[in-house]
Amino acid sequence: MNQSQGQQTSEGRHEDDAVLADFLASLMDYTPTIPDELVEHYLGKSGFQCPDVRLIRLVAVATQKFIADVATDALQHCKARQSTIVKDKRDKQQKDKRLTLTMDDLSKSLREYGVNVKHQDYFADSPSAGLDPASREE
Amino acid sequence: MSSKSNRNRPLAAKAISPPSTPLSESDYAFTITRTAVAQICSSIGFTAAEAPVLGILTDIAVRYLRTIAKSAADSANSASRTQANLVDTIAAVDELSSVSGFPGAWRATGCFLNSGAVKKLDTFTEDSKEIPFAKPLPRKIFSVGSRKGMRNVGSNKIEYIGGEKKHIPTWLPVMPVIENHEKETVEKRRRELWGYCAKTEEPEREKKDEKKTDSGEKESKGLELPLKRGKVRFKIGGGGVLGVCRSGGIGKRVLCENWNFDDENSSKQEQL
């Protein structure tokens, strides 16, 4: 029994190794959105030394995935917010239905990853941010 | 409330105004990262993004990247290595993705090579669309030697990457250039230290060197022995004449004194 279990575990390890080797080999053909030169620059600044391009791309892919995950969550928040708007207002916004990355959505999505981002209360994004809604319409 | 916001608005406007100073290296890198982050956001489905929000996301991306690098470098250094390897990098990725969780994270002593975080990255690369960066970047800009006083790797980086000096890590300072007139400077220093005494010794040394070279040539010639050799005679000792005489067996040489037999015989006769 023990021997068969041991064989199974060793086979599983071989499979894992093969999967990892395939992944690393596929990284040679994959070009991440974050360029290699930029990643090298930041890695060098942090004291990471490695001549292997695959490891640099691994770090680039990890960062890209993290940003993509955060942005996907923010997009879901954005869509959910737009769907909950009252109907009469929605008609107005239908014209310019743009999915814009806003601070509210980003702070909500980043909270899940342990990053607390908050809008400063006095900070004005646009010139009409602090004005009353009535005067804004004018 | 409105008065408060009005009072604060000029400050915010000042903060937003673009800097007039030229972009430094870090600003340049930050701008490129912002473009990459914007590309990622647009690929997901966003049509627009607020500028400060994009800046925050870029800052987080840079921090994430640097944290991975620092973690991997630390684990490499703790294993008394300077270069990080695959295990260090995967451990760093695992550490950072443990916040959101991944399959197999509960195994505290599991092997790093079959980590769930890396498998997730694998599925991400397979599923997501490949979007390369908008423009190819020149590698020279990120060389270490852009600042004054640092090494200028940019000009002869190939030599340091895969050439003769590939064993030298790029962060080391450049070797000083050996100049041709180094001998003159050494002589000057010697004169300063020892005066002109050293100058008189030098010609003698040179002469000796010349002699040595001559003798060396002779020796090289003398290695081949001539076929016919001339006889060599020599005397040993001052008063008593010593010589080599043959007696007895063939080829045996016995050292003996050259007695004067007549004198000895006459003295024996007298005694008798």
d(CA B97, CA B31): 26
> What is this model's ipTM?
0.80
Beta bridge partners of B245: B254
A38–B29: do the CB atoms touch at under 8 Å?
Answer: yes
What's residue B139's pLDDT?
A: 64
Q: What is the CATH number of the domain that holds A106?
A: 1.10.20
pLDDT in tens, B154-197: 455 556 666 667 777 767 777 776 666 666 777 777 776 666 55
pLDDT in tens, A5-30: 555 555 666 777 788 888 888 888 88
Residue A21 lies in a domain: yes
B183's tokens: 């001998």
| Domains with residue ranges and CATH for chain B | 23-136 (1.10.20), 138-199 (no CATH)
Q: DSSP letter at A85?
A: S
Beta bridge partners of B253: B246
3-state secondary structure of B244: strand
Q: DSSP letter at B256?
A: E
pTM (2 decimals)?
A: 0.59
Residue of A36, A52, A70 best to disrupt the B interface, most CBs of B under 10 A: A70
Give B102-105's long-range contacts (Cβ < 8 A, gap of 24+): none
Token pair 């300077």 in the structure block, residue: B82
Domain of A48? 12-120
What's residue B152's pLDDT?
A: 47
Phi and psi, residue B49, nearest 5°: -150, 145
Residue A2 lies in a domain: no
Residue A47 lies in a domain: yes
d(CA A9, CA A16): 10
- Closest by CA to B63, choosing from B39, B106, B107, B33, is B33
Q: Which residues in chain B touch residue A101, judged by CB atoms under 8 angstroms apart?
A: 41, 46, 48-50, 53-54, 57
pLDDT in tens, A112-136: 888 898 877 766 667 776 666 555 4
Per-residue confidence in pLDDT tens, chain B, 272 aa: 344 444 443 333 333 444 445 566 678 889 999 999 999 999 999 998 888 899 999 999 999 999 999 999 999 999 999 888 888 898 898 888 887 777 776 666 666 667 778 888 888 888 888 888 877 777 654 444 444 444 444 455 556 666 667 777 767 777 776 666 666 777 777 776 666 554 445 555 555 555 555 554 444 444 556 667 677 777 776 555 444 444 444 555 545 455 554 555 555 555 54
What's residue A85's pLDDT?
A: 72
- Closest by CA to A51, choosing from B29, B79, B170, B155, is B170
Helix (H) or strand (E) holding B245: strand B242-246
Q: Which residues in chain B touch residue A24, judged by CB atoms under 8 angstroms apart?
A: 86
What chain A residue is nearest to B57 in terms of C-alpha separation?
A: A67
How much is the mean pLDDT over chain B? Answer: 68
Q: Please give the share of chain A, as a percent, with pLDDT higher than 70.
A: 71
Residue A28 lies in a domain: yes
The structural domain count of chain A equals 1
d(CA B225, CA B234): 21
Selecting from B5, B100, B118 the residue whose C-beta is nearest the C-beta of A113 gives B100
